[in-house]
Chain A
Amino acid sequence: MSAAATTLVAAKPRGRVLGAVFMGYLLLSLAIGFALLLWLLVDIAATGLPYIDRALFLNDPSADPAIAGARPAILGTLYIGALLLVFTVPLGVGTAIYLEEYADKERWYNRLLELNIQNLAAVPSIVYGILGLAFLVRGLGLGRVLLAGAMILTLLVLPVVIIASREAIRAVSASIRQGAFALGATKWQVVWRQVLPAAAPGMATGSILALSRAIGETAPLLLVGALTYVAFNPSLLDQFTVLPIQIFQWTSRPQEEFKVLAAAAIIVLLAILLSLNAVAIWVRNRYQKRW
């Protein structure tokens, strides 16, 4: 039987060429972001590094670039960061526990709550600034103070903390809860003594990452009046400024000398963010348990 054996044709070269072109496109897609990031970092380091000096950390801002510093802005950023942790962690973790452990997901109001949080996470940050301007600065009459800035940033990053905390709670194995219930623990005892300790590293990581997002925010703080001349150390109910605002202000000046200062301030800001992220990664690797 001389069957016409079906010849298996090797893949056409066209397919291989196309595959290589496609692969090139995929790699370019990844590389372009990293390339720009590298360009940005090298450029800023080359411009700003020579200007990282005592004056930058110790002096007040000034119209004279030779003596201008960012002390009030750096301290303002640190203050706001500390306040944010105090405000966002209890609220965010509380909401996450409610949604994961208590809420009946069939109820319309709990579904609405979930949709609401997802949407809030995508509301433009400047809109939070408008909220702060209308209610905190003008409505409540707080004025353009540090506390108003911290409160508005709290609302801004709260969805991020909630979403991260929910994931951490969800990762806690159900058998731990069931074991505790079987021993007669009440719901809150289960949450407080079993779920929370197990979820704490994940929550801490999420909160620190949210904090680093808030510290880099500029737009909402422009509206609560952080763009002012501040030549004193920050306090809760006083005018304030933060590093991103100081960077914005120096960048938008026409003189070259201020742009150089902006680059130096960017290095300080990035160093703060980098150390926060390093802490977050360390916490995750050191404490996270897996089931």
Chain B
Amino acid sequence: MQAAAPRLRVHRRRWGEGVVKGALALCALVSIATTIGIVAALLEPSLEFFREVSLVDFFSGTDWAPLFEPARFGVLPLIVGTLSVTFWAVVVAVPFGLGAAIYLSEYARPGVRKALKPALEVLAGVPTVVYGYFALVTFTPFLRSLGLDVQIFNAFSAGVVMGIMIIPTVASISEDAMNAVPQSLRDGAYALGSNKLEVSVRIVVPAAISGIVASFVLGISRAVGETMIALLAAGQLAQLTFVPFEPVETMTAFIAATGIGDVPTGSIEYKTIFAVGLTLFVMTLAMNLFAIRLVRKYREVYE
């Protein structure tokens, strides 16, 4: 029988499909362009800045007074200020973030965890300017009422409040890593007679250590890059001190405080924004890339 079989025609390639793919790739290019834009925006004025101020003076000078005559451009006070605030943030965020993660991953029942996780995220959702207000208007006066000799603007208040804000960052990344640890490891340890504490601390935490370290690094990176709490509560006095109750100026606070004014384009003041911004960007970039690598590592091992 020679039936007229329906002829299967090969469709021409639809050109629209290609156009769509191109348009979507273009969307994706925006984020590449953002990175290139950031690097370009930072580099050009920074290079001009370093033509006027030597790198050695910038990184070894202990005096930051760009607006004075004669101007001095030693960035160390800003870096020390940043580290000082970050230190207190880490002192709060690391132990409590890790504790919260262990509780959520190892101790909480599924229902409790499901309710607690988003509740903890609320802490990260409060705008930073609100934390800044709280640190300056409530927390610092509270410390004073305890009889502590703290200045109105100080690194300690800013750091502690910042640390609380960062707890969810540390907790959620650490908890992800602990969740990825295979149940068989825990079961093995229980079979050998371990109790819950030993399983958590000696089995789960070491097994998830790369993710936990990543969460610490990302937490530090957030503290280094946080602006509003530092600007409002730590002050704008660039002094080289690690004393917690003294005012300091962080890199971010300097950038914000200088950028607020209508600084003339091309002036040395204007360029300091970019030189300090580049320093900040390189520091946080290094930490972020390191943390991303660590996270990939535990994903490769366990998933």
Contact = CB atoms under 8 A, between A and B. Distances in A.
B99 A216 contact: no
Contacts of A119: 35, 285, 288-289, 292
A252 B100 CA distance: 34
B31 A216 contact: no
A33 B128 contact: no
Nearest to A30: B100
A94 to B, nearest CB: 3
Nearest to B218: A122
A248 B127 CA distance: 11
Contact of A94 (B27, B119, B129, B262): B27
B143 interface: no
A213 B197 CA distance: 37
B289 to A, nearest CB: 7
B50 interface: no
Given A131-B37, A218-B228, A244-B129, A124 B24 contact: no
A102 B225 contact: no
B7 interface: no
Contacts of B127: 215-218, 244, 269, 273
Given A28-B96, A102-B25, A251-B132, A120 B30 contact: no
A102 B280 contact: no
Given A122-B221, A188-B16, A251-B232, 19 more contacts: A22-B201, A30-B116, A32-B164, A33-B100, A37-B126, A40-B126, A94-B26, A98-B24, A116-B31, A116-B35, A127-B42, A127-B225, A130-B255, A130-B273, A134-B274, A227-B260, A251-B133, A259-B133, A262-B133
Given A32-B164, A134-B41, A186 B14 contact: yes
B155 interface: no
B130 A269 contact: yes
A26 B105 CA distance: 11
A127 B195 contact: no
B147 to A, nearest CB: 19
A122 B222 contact: yes
A83 interface: no
A260 B41 CA distance: 38
A23 B296 CA distance: 30
A219 B252 contact: yes
A98 B22 CA distance: 9
Contacts of A247: 129-130, 133
A95 interface: yes
Interface in B270-303: 273-274, 277, 280-281, 284-285, 288-289, 291-292
A33 B138 CA distance: 16
Nearest to A226: B260
17 contacts: A15-B197, A26-B99, A26-B100, A26-B102, A29-B102, A33-B100, A33-B164, A36-B123, A94-B24, A95-B24, A123-B284, A124-B226, A124-B252, A130-B41, A188-B20, A222-B259, A248-B232
A225 B25 contact: no
A227 B32 CA distance: 29
B34 to A, nearest CB: 5
Nearest to A128: B38
A70 interface: no
Interface secondary structure of B, over-half rule:
helix
A126 B17 contact: no
Contact of A115 (B20, B126, B222, B292): B292
Interface stretch (A49-57, A155-163, A170-178, A229-237): A155-163
A123 B119 contact: no
Given A126-B227, A127-B280, A113 B31 contact: yes
A187 B138 CA distance: 57
A162 B136 CA distance: 35
Contacts of A158: 30-31, 34
B243 interface: no
Contact of A95 (B30, B103, B129, B222): B30
B197 A22 contact: yes
A180 B133 CA distance: 54
A39 B138 contact: yes
Interface of B: 14, 16-17, 20-21, 23-28, 30-32, 34-35, 37-38, 41-42, 45, 95-100, 102-103, 107, 116, 119-120, 122-123, 125-134, 136-138, 161, 164, 167-168, 195-197, 200-201, 218, 221-222, 224-228, 231-232, 252, 255-256, 259-260, 262, 265, 273-274, 277, 280-281, 284-285, 288-289, 291-292
B136 to A, nearest CB: 6
A213 B168 CA distance: 15
Contacts of A116: 31-32, 35
Interface in A150-204: 155, 158-159, 162, 186-188
B256 A222 contact: yes
A129 interface: yes
B23 A94 contact: yes
Interface string A91-105: 110110111001100
Nearest to B131: A40
A241 interface: no
Closest 5 CB pairs of A and B: A124-B225, A29-B99, A216-B127, A94-B27, A219-B227
